Copies of this chain bind each other. A is one copy, B any other.
Amino acid sequence: MSQQRLIRLSTQHPTSAVYVLGTEISIDIYGSAPKDAMWFDARGSPGIDVYIVHTPQPMQMPTSEPRWPLGAEAEVVVTMGRPSDDVGDHKVRILYYGKDVQTPLQKTMLYLTCVEVSLEADTTRSGTVQKKATDKRNWTWGPGGQGAILLVNCDRDEPTSETMDNEDNSVQTCKDLRDMSLMVLRTRGPAAVFANHKLVLHVSGSDADKVGVFYAHSNELVEQHTHVLGPEKLFYVVEHACGEEEHTFYVEGLAFPDADFSGLVSFHTTMLDTSHKSLPETPIFTDTVVFRVAPWIMTPNTLQPLEIYVCSASDNTDFVEAISNLAQKTRCRLTICPELENKGDRWIQDEMEFGYVQAPHKTFPVVFDSPRNRELKDFPIQSILGPDFGYVTREPLNRGISSLDSFGNLEVSPPVKVKGKEYPLGRILIGSSFPRVGGRRMTKVVRDFLYAQRVQAPVELFTDWLSVGHVDEFLSFVPAHDRQGFRLLLASPSACYKLLKEKQEEGHGKAQMFEGQEKVPKKTIEEILADETLRKENDYFQSCIDWNRDILKQELGLSPKDIIDIPQLFNMKDKQAEAYFPDMVNMIVLGKDLGIPKPFGPIINGQCCLEKKVRSLLEPLGLTCTFINDYFTYHKLLGEVHCGTNVLRKPFSFKWWHVIP
């Protein structure tokens, strides 16, 4: 529906009005009708379309000489097709008749000047600003959706800068500008009209602290672009010299969607009549365009790896070399965080999560810095944040954080379809204490942030049964060519018992766990199987994993065929679970190459029976298993390969705005 504006006519003198292209003018024919008028006629000069609207059916005015009954409460609606050349160069004449339908009782004139005033953005998500878009006030999801998109300009394009690009009120470089979305104010019409009118670009107080808008003065350097809207800057008077102009603005986001911010921000241009100097300015037209701030999106294991991160420590040379070999094999870049920087904190998975933001014109990765804040605390902001690499964090104000706030407890599934509902970017998985009560839970500010991104609707799992309490301790996803394109791997005590029992029945009961590992107490298969306490504990751990398995089946729409049980045993320590031998699901997934914690299981016929079993489960999917010794350097410190690495991955080819959340 077009914006409609009522124009009242004077009975005394001709009326002048400005018509804005794309709107409708409704002429108040009753206000100026002489007392005895019974009929009227309305005609426009060439270039004006005059409609006499009889509710409910609109009728185009016939060409003969009609007389319309004034009592029928007809509406006269006027539209025009192109901007005026001169002020008042179009007119509508209203003739009123009494009983004598030949001689008019009165003639009333309306002089119109047509102007174009349009606030434009990339509302079709094509990468360029859309001219003459309609319905710019609505933002819709899905493949047929429309509405402009904004990026949180949270990278740091100027390496010497101390802050993120959106923390200052200036444009640093052209590179900085490319992270922003274009917004154009287009005006056309006689210059004299604009001399009597003011154009204001404005934003509401509640939206203003989410955005920064820069005005690009023509022929000036980007450094001289003026910051015109933002926190505490609610409006900007657009200076204009002539009728036909394009004012260019660049818009950056300051804040991601969150519990108290839907992500939608509206900008308005209002045209104010300033012709009566003694009167306040009168608004005559407002154009509005809405942007959505792009969400932060996580990347599942099934996406192509680009770069691997690992920490170097005094004791982990072999581990770093193993990861380095994998990086070489999978053609990933490798970043080794030196000990000077990690200060002995090797849990680089826990400190941060990689994701990205995307607009039709630009995509860049964004690191989400966990509130964990151990020795690696400054690594994301000091070493990851940079040109076209953004940064975001959430820290609770008051309450303490728990181990569940580490980002080993934040994973994302590959794309899934659940009972007809599609999650083409997968679903976020976080660990919690639910359904048991009173336990640890990820801090609210992080959960709120994750839920507010909307496009990867989170699922809360039960991880408080684990000592460390991270989802990556019992699950992982690996790519597959069939089914939904992946398998869910779950740590499985019962699969481990089944395997060990088979081996015992085959006569290998005396084979030992941790054979050849120095200073590690050995245990034979027989001893393990005979340990009733261990079995009961593992039955309990299995029931906790099964609880999650049931949730995952339901929330990710999985069938048993989508799930692979990876043999694993846990120990009970202070009523919580710790991996008994290196936790194999805690692996690094690099395309078809898997870096799996070496379990040091019983050697049977010269081969670790656990490794053999895992190979037999994963190799048929076309995956390659590399077992990495992390026993003393990670496993004994309650983490494994996944905890000790991090992977930057290629964004989805699927655009987030095509999701229907």
The chain A residues found within 8 Å of chain B, CB to CB, are 1, 3-6, 8, 11, 26, 28, 31, 35, 55, 73, 75, 200, 202, 204-206, 234-235, 259-260, 268, 270, 272-273, 276, 278-284, 286, 419, 434-438, 441, 444, 462, 465, 494-495, 498, 501-502, 505, 533, 536-537, 540, 542-544, 546-547, 549-550, 553-554, 559-561, 572, 575-576
**Chain B proximity of A136: nearest CB distance (Å):** 15
30 chain-A/chain-B pairs, Cβ below 8 angstroms:
A4-B550, A5-B546, A8-B542, A8-B546, A11-B498, A11-B501, A26-B560, A31-B495, A55-B561, A75-B560, A202-B437, A204-B434, A205-B444, A206-B444, A234-B437, A235-B437, A235-B438, A270-B436, A270-B437, A272-B436, A273-B543, A276-B540, A278-B533, A280-B540, A280-B575, A281-B436, A282-B543, A282-B544, A283-B462, A283-B544
**Chain B proximity of A433: nearest CB distance (Å):** 10
Known contacts A1-B554, A6-B549; is A560 also within 8 Å of B73 by CB?
yes
Contacts of A281 on B, CB cut-off 8 Å?
Answer: 436
- What 10 A-B pairs come out closest when comparing CB atoms? A235-B437, A270-B435, A202-B437, A286-B435, A279-B540, A6-B546, A283-B435, A282-B543, A8-B494, A280-B575
**Chain B proximity of A230: nearest CB distance (Å):** 14
CB atoms of A31 and B444 under 8 A apart: no
Contacts of A272 on B, CB cut-off 8 Å?
Answer: 436
Instruction: With CB as the reference atom, state the residue of chain B lying closest to A533.
Output: B278
* Among A31, A276, A575: residue with most chain B CB under 10 A: A31
**Chain B proximity of A287: nearest CB distance (Å):** 10
Known contacts A435-B283, A536-B276; is A4 also within 8 Å of B560 by CB?
no
Instruction: Tell me the complex Cα distance, A202–B435, Å.
Output: 9
**Chain B proximity of A533: nearest CB distance (Å):** 8
Instruction: Tell me the complex Cα distance, A606–B3, Å.
Output: 44
User: Could you list 4 further interchain pairs (A-B, Cβ under 8 angstroms) beyond the known A276-B540, A283-B435?
Assistant: A204-B434, A260-B260, A270-B437, A283-B544
CB atoms of B546 and A279 under 8 A apart: no
CB atoms of A559 and B438 under 8 A apart: no
Known contacts A55-B559, A435-B286; is A502 also within 8 Å of B280 by CB?
no
Instruction: With CB as the reference atom, state the residue of chain B lying closest to A560.
Output: B75
CB atoms of A494 and B31 under 8 A apart: yes
When the two chains form the complex, which single residue of B273, B279, B544 contacts A536, counting CB atoms closer than 8 Å?
Answer: B279
Instruction: With CB as the reference atom, state the residue of chain B lying closest to A506.
Output: B35
**Chain B proximity of A235: nearest CB distance (Å):** 4
CB atoms of B6 and A550 under 8 A apart: yes
CB atoms of B1 and A540 under 8 A apart: no
**Chain B proximity of A356: nearest CB distance (Å):** 27
* Among A437, A494, A540, A544: residue with most chain B CB under 10 A: A437
CB atoms of A4 and B438 under 8 A apart: no
Instruction: Tell me the complex Cα distance, A494–B1, Å.
Output: 27
**Chain B proximity of A432: nearest CB distance (Å):** 9
Instruction: With CB as the reference atom, state the residue of chain B lying closest to A12.
Output: B501
CB atoms of B3 and A550 under 8 A apart: yes
Contacts of A494 on B, CB cut-off 8 Å?
Answer: 8, 28, 31
When the two chains form the complex, which single residue of B1, B35, B206, B278 contacts A419, counting CB atoms closer than 8 Å?
Answer: B1
Contacts of A575 on B, CB cut-off 8 Å?
Answer: 279-280
Contacts of A540 on B, CB cut-off 8 Å?
Answer: 276, 279-280, 282
**Chain B proximity of A221: nearest CB distance (Å):** 29
Contacts of A536 on B, CB cut-off 8 Å?
Answer: 276, 278-279
Instruction: Tell me the complex Cα distance, A617–B460, Å.
Output: 62
Contacts of A55 on B, CB cut-off 8 Å?
Answer: 559, 561
Contacts of A434 on B, CB cut-off 8 Å?
Answer: 204, 268
Instruction: Tell me the complex Cα distance, A205–B55, Å.
Output: 55
Contacts of A462 on B, CB cut-off 8 Å?
Answer: 283
Instruction: With CB as the reference atom, state the residue of chain B lying closest to A492.
Output: B31
Instruction: With CB as the reference atom, state the residue of chain B lying closest to A285.
Output: B435
Contacts of A550 on B, CB cut-off 8 Å?
Answer: 3-6
